[in-house]
Structure 1
Amino acid sequence: MRISILALDGLFDTGLTVALDAFSAANGLAARELGGTPRFEVSIVGMRKRVRTRHGLIVPVQAVTPDLKPDWVFVPALSTITPELLIESLARTDVIQARTQLLKWHAEGALIGASCIGTFLLAETGLLDERDATTNWSLAPLFRQRYPRVRLNESRMLVPSDTGVTAGAAMGHLDLALWLIRKASPELASLVSRYLLADIRTSQAPYIIPNHLAQADPLIQRFEQWARTHLKAGFSLQEAAGALATSARSLQRRCQDVLGKSPLAYFQDLRVERAQSLLHGSGLDLEAIAAEVGYADGATLRTLLRQRLGRGVRDLRADLR
């Protein structure tokens, strides 16, 4: 498998290095443990002759040439953590050139894997339109606003499509690399996971901070504040809308546009977050915690936690040990 890693100025250092380390480990283990030849031919390419990471390290890139025909293009994240800086970065000349090159590679049959903020660069090409995708969860509101035709689900860690695959925030680069290795050989991916003490995660949901997402919109931020004071009492759309001096329809629409979910679903996110906090920081049993977040019994809360986080109460409590 020929993989070209697209390196741009100011890229996220870990995103690049973790991919290189994963593919290097895969090649070494394929030769040593499985008695085969290296599976991955990896090149680092750039739009400029000189590329620096966010921390100033110089990346040895090769120029894009007509004979470069990758099977996969790996797009690491730019190290921009605010919407304002990200929007500025997407307007850079080299980023626009990279967008054009991605379209060319795709037209020639290459698949594209993008992680974290790298998914924004892929979305800029239009190749994610009308397709399922994920992104850095913390920038999901901006992603929805900028790319309304993409079917975004930031709770997922990896989302394959006919374009390639998108992966979640930061260390999602490792998940993406392991996913590509598994495409070549599940046995090899298992070995790499063991050697790197890592495995593919299926969800970003346990890492999402609802308060951070709410800050993307004034109405949602006020709704979040209202919701936190009503977790125990329960949810009423009409009551929430009245308290916020808006209509139920407007609140529904704004939640969908910003968060990609209904007000009730976001309210449940806050319940899950509060329940997690109580599981970790109080001596309350599950029934008492359920009552604190507005559920009649622990069984209902147990089901919600497993649905949202993919983990049971015992696993969540074990995080403290």
Structure 2
Amino acid sequence: MNDFTVLVLPGAFASSVALTLDILSAAASLAARAACATPRWRVVTPQGAVQLNHGMTIDATILPKTARPDGSTWVIPGLGLESPPAITERLAQPDALRAMQALQAHVQAGGTVAASCSAVFLLQSAGLLAGRQATTSWWLAPLLQQLEPRCAVDADRMVIRDGTLVTAGAALAQTDLMLHLLSTQFSPALADAVSRALLIDGRQSQAQFIVPAMFANGNALIAKLVERFEFALPNPPGVAALAAEFCMSEHTLSRHVRVATGRSTSALLQSVRLNKARMLLETSKLTVEQVAERVGYVDTTALRHLMRKLTGVTPRQFRPAVSPPM
């Protein structure tokens, strides 16, 4: 019996698929050293051999038309979709609908399903996220929340397990997803061995990678709001002043921001501050105190707290590593 079933749709993100298979291969090679069973897996697609994005082709077993009890964890790599229209169009295709039916049957039989990035929308379209906690690519999180209001979407988390459903962030969070599955289904020792062998850093949050401008996603108001925050640092305007600038009430402004980004106006400002601070720490020689001042904090305490809370690291850890002289 297989431990994992990797479900790949045509056009899937090639690196997400490759990472999944490479991590499983590494786990199989290192299992004896970690004193645990060797993972087994199969790759299935709705149509046999499929072409991934950028032209890579892989062979696979055709997804059975009739679902059978399956004790494996189904893993769906990212679909290679970046925009709401692309997601809507892709999930309406016959192969996606067939995949949804298979996922529904697997979950109804008590099976576990894991997905990252835009593949999480496959779970949403299959009706599997209602009443659950989930994450996805941070810039797609607002869309996921709109499509499934009954799901508690957390854009900052890298991996979320809620019962038999496991979701992860943007495409390369597939590595974090696979390490989580290896750790929980085999042993932390195996996950650690794979992580060390492939030089994978453990990450708990997507927050440090967020680029606030991408929250706009075609929304002119959010784009202008982010630009206004960035231009005004270190002294950004309050919600009342912003509402007056945009000729609307504070309530209306807050509602527009919440619907478009899944965040409050103050949380959006925090993302702008964090992104600016990260950029300054990575690219300048400013001290942490000077960076805090540039983004609107009177001392470093607030900046340290923000970074630790949202990213799990300190300001100094954003500094680029310096190699010793040869």
Partner SS, residue 229 of structure 1: helix
Alignment of 1:1-321 (within 5 A): 2-31=3-32, 33-34=33-34, 36-38=36-38, 40-65=39-64, 66-67=67-68, 69-183=70-184, 184-319=186-321
Q: Which amino acid aligns with 1:313?
A: P
Mark the runs of 5 or more structure 1 residues left unpaired by the alignment: none
Higher mean displacement: 61-70 or 274-283: 61-70
Q: CA deviation at 1:277?
A: 2.1
Cα deviations by residue, 1:209-258 (Å, 9 ceiling, x for unpaired): 10111244222222212222322224411001101111100111122222
Q: Structure 1 residues 245 and 319, CA, compared in 2 at 3 Å: closer, same or farther?
A: farther
TM-score (norm 2): 0.92
Q: Structure 1 residues 139 and 35, CA, compared in 2 at 3 Å: closer, same or farther?
A: closer
Q: Structure 1 residues 17 and 286, CA, compared in 2 at 3 Å: closer, same or farther?
A: closer
Q: CA deviation at 1:275?
A: 1.7
Partner SS, residue 256 of structure 1: helix
Question: Would you say the 8 A contact 1:128–1:163 is kept in 2?
Answer: no
C-alpha separation between the residues in 2 aligned to 1:100 and 1:211?
36
Question: Would you say the 8 A contact 2:120–2:136 is kept in 1?
Answer: yes
C-alpha separation between the residues in 2 aligned to 1:237 and 1:230?
13
Q: CA deviation at 1:319?
A: 4.5
C-alpha separation between the residues in 2 aligned to 1:9 and 1:259?
29
Q: CA deviation at 1:57?
A: 2.8
Q: CA deviation at 1:108?
A: 1.3
Q: Structure 1 residues 275 and 68, CA, compared in 2 at 3 Å: closer, same or farther?
A: same
Q: Structure 1 residues 16 and 251, CA, compared in 2 at 3 Å: closer, same or farther?
A: same
Question: Would you say the 8 A contact 2:254–2:265 is kept in 1?
Answer: yes
Q: Structure 1 residues 228 and 109, CA, compared in 2 at 3 Å: closer, same or farther?
A: same
C-alpha separation between the residues in 2 aligned to 1:262 and 1:25?
42
Partner SS, residue 138 of structure 1: helix
Question: Would you say the 8 A contact 1:12–1:77 is kept in 2?
Answer: yes
Q: CA deviation at 1:36?
A: 5.0
C-alpha separation between the residues in 2 aligned to 1:135 and 1:78?
12
Q: Structure 1 residues 199 and 302, CA, compared in 2 at 3 Å: closer, same or farther?
A: closer
Q: Which amino acid aligns with 1:149?
A: R
Q: CA deviation at 1:35?
A: 5.2
Q: Structure 1 residues 277 and 208, CA, compared in 2 at 3 Å: closer, same or farther?
A: same
Cα deviations by residue, 1:169-207 (Å, 9 ceiling, x for unpaired): 111111111111101111111111111111431111111
TM-score (norm 1): 0.93
Higher mean displacement: 171-180 or 280-289: 280-289
C-alpha separation between the residues in 1 aligned to 2:34 and 2:54?
37
Question: Would you say the 8 A contact 2:210–2:275 is kept in 1?
Answer: no
Identity of aligned residues (%): 34
Mark the runs of 5 or more structure 2 residues left unpaired by the alignment: none
Q: Which amino acid aligns with 1:130?
A: G
Q: Structure 1 residues 228 and 35, CA, compared in 2 at 3 Å: closer, same or farther?
A: closer
* Matched length: 319
Question: Would you say the 8 A contact 2:282–2:320 is kept in 1?
Answer: no
Question: Would you say the 8 A contact 1:141–1:216 is kept in 2?
Answer: no
Cα deviations by residue, 1:16-38 (Å, 9 ceiling, x for unpaired): 1111111121112113x245541
C-alpha separation between the residues in 2 aligned to 1:67 and 1:240?
56
